A and B are shown apart, each in its own frame.
Chain A
Amino acid sequence: MSGVMLSEWTKLRTVRSTVWTMLGVVIVMIGFGYLNAAAARGQADRHPMIDPALLTLGGAPVASLMVASLGVLAISGEYRTGMIRTTLLAVPRRMRMLAAKTAVFTVFSLTVSLLTCFATFFVGQVVLGPYGTGLGEPGVLRIVGGCALYITGSGVFGLALGALVRHTAGGIVAVTVTLFLLPQLVGVIPGGTGARLMPYVTSVAGMRVMSPETAGGLAPWTGFGVFCLWIAVALAGAAYLLRRRDA
């Protein structure tokens, strides 16, 4: 691990917001998973069971927003305090700094998300009992792993938007709007255009990777690819402005 990455890891792990956010993610995921599973099992004789893997991952939208906020904070916090100058004095090659920060944040979020999503899945399956499923069933491993990928992707998207707007509240608003409000806005575009665009919108595309294959929408990995494109564009914009702007 390069010195710059080690430095970014120290920064990430030594602020309280990181610990609290990730603790919140674990609680939300497992909590939603447990409640959804318990409710589904209680009504299993009256309602057809929806996908027993996806069912347990109902906390993902909230968890993704939390990790996205942490992503915003990872960089906007440096602008709020002015610490970004200290950072850029230590690492004046700004692309190196952004790359190291993004890499460290991605690996950290992915690790926490994977552990959380699989733990959530197993808790949910225990609750579902005979109605549950296993990782060996078709698509299940992809859905659970995909949930971690979507949460991580949201975090990186937040980091990119945080670097673009350089402001905590602004960054969190930006990431909430693009992940949650944008699908609804696109939905009201009249004349069928909205319906045609919908599969390509941020979270709609991104969540395909954690959903069962259905007719309509994009294929799981195509959807996630589109989501990664959104992230890449945001990161490219952040990188371009970081190079140009005064710190």
Chain B
Amino acid sequence: MITTVDLTKRYGSTSAVDGLSFTVESGRVTGFLGPNGAGKSTTMRMVLGLDRPTRGHALIGGRPYVELREPLRRVGALLDARAVHGGRTARNHLLYLAQSNRLPVSRVGEMLDLVGLGQVGDRRIGGFSLGMSQRLGIAGALLGDPEVLLFDEPVNGLDPEGILWIRTLMRRLAAEGRTVFVSSHLMSEMAQTADHLVVIGKGRLIADSSVDAFIGRSSRRHVRVRSPELARLVPLLPQGHVTTHGDHVRVTGTTAGSVGETAAAAGIPLHELVEVEPSLESAYMELTQADTEFAADRS
């Protein structure tokens, strides 16, 4: 379990992360969403004891990361897959990690096989594609068989096969009861992988809820209605919740059933009546609109 309390990071007068408090539970994939520059990586670095918070703190399993003994046995993290020495072989890269936490050296070969790098373990990392580097980074994160995993943008630069592989892996790790915390700016990816979402914008918490609840909160969930007698129907619908779009209207804050009964009671024929679920993407865009607008203004 990961907990942050009032986590804050300031650089001069600007706040990269501002009073962030949330909990990442075990046994599910928690997506960490936010536009670029929202403070996702900074938050992860503070959780991992790399950056010092200006205020607040972060705990993993109730303790600060820097107090963990042999931390790779408790926590695995992939921050930047390219942050490796290109002159070293994949096997030697994992070897020094294993040695530092007194992990059995046999784990090195096992993890290389697990991530599909068994054949290229003795090649220098410098010649690896981004996808191979990501796999190596994941092998490093899993080396100590940790119960808590943090991935920063793990699908960046991966081909569809690699993305599917990571998605399946994360689901499996969570199913094994581990804590999986994964940042992304790809909504479609999170929609398919995450059970829970922590959404931030400009360093502040925007939402901390299940994926379903997050989508449900969006005002874009609406009922689409087409009828030849819209003029008669609209006055009967809840005032202020109806917008006209060409030949149909959108009604928010109600259900298709309710609109249908209203129309039936008044004898109004309907040509279309459907509840439109917003995508995670649109819910996200709506909630972070303030940020993106700000960013657009500034540039």
Contacts and interface: CB of A to CB of B under 8 A. Distances in A.
Given A83-B84, A90-B71, A93-B66, A14 B96 contact: yes
Contact of B79 (A14, A15, A85): A85
A16 interface: yes
Given A85-B83, A90-B71, A93-B66, A10 B99 contact: yes
Nearest to A1: B99
Interface in B95-133: 95-97, 99-102
A86 B51 contact: no
A91 interface: yes
Interface string B190-215: 00000000000000000000000000
B9 to A, nearest CB: 9
A15 B50 contact: no
A34 to B, nearest CB: 32
A14 B82 contact: no
A73 to B, nearest CB: 10
B45 A6 contact: no
B99 A7 contact: yes
A54 B77 CA distance: 52
A246 B50 contact: yes
Contact of B95 (A10, A82, A91): A10
B49 interface: yes
A81 B50 contact: no
Nearest to B79: A85
Contact of B83 (A10, A11, A83, A90): A83
Chain A CB within 10 Å, residue with most, of B52, B66, B72, B96: B96
Contacts of B86: 81
B125 to A, nearest CB: 10
B80 A82 contact: yes
Contacts, number: 84
Nearest to A80: B85
B50 A85 contact: yes
B99 A92 contact: no
Interface string A1-14: 00110111011001
A11 B96 contact: yes
A87 B80 CA distance: 13
B39 interface: no
B100 A92 contact: no
B84 A89 contact: no
Interface string A88-100: 1111110000000
B290 to A, nearest CB: 28
A145 interface: no
A24 interface: no
A16 B87 contact: yes
B22 interface: no
A7 B143 CA distance: 14
A85 B82 CA distance: 12
A6 B92 CA distance: 12
Given A92-B65, A246-B45, A246-B50, A6 B84 contact: no
B108 to A, nearest CB: 11
A77 interface: yes
Contacts of B48: 89
A7 B96 contact: yes
A233 interface: no
A244 B50 CA distance: 10
A247 interface: yes
Contacts of B92: 10, 14
B21 interface: no
Contacts of A83: 83-85
Nearest to B48: A89
Contacts of B87: 14-17
A1 to B, nearest CB: 10
6 contacts: A7-B96, A83-B83, A89-B48, A89-B72, A90-B100, A246-B50
For the complex of A and B, 6 pairs with smallest distance between CB atoms = A82-B83, A7-B100, A10-B96, A7-B99, A246-B51, A3-B102
Given A15-B87, A82-B83, A247-B45, 10 more contacts: A14-B87, A77-B85, A90-B100, A92-B49, A92-B65, A92-B68, A92-B71, A244-B52, A246-B51, A247-B50
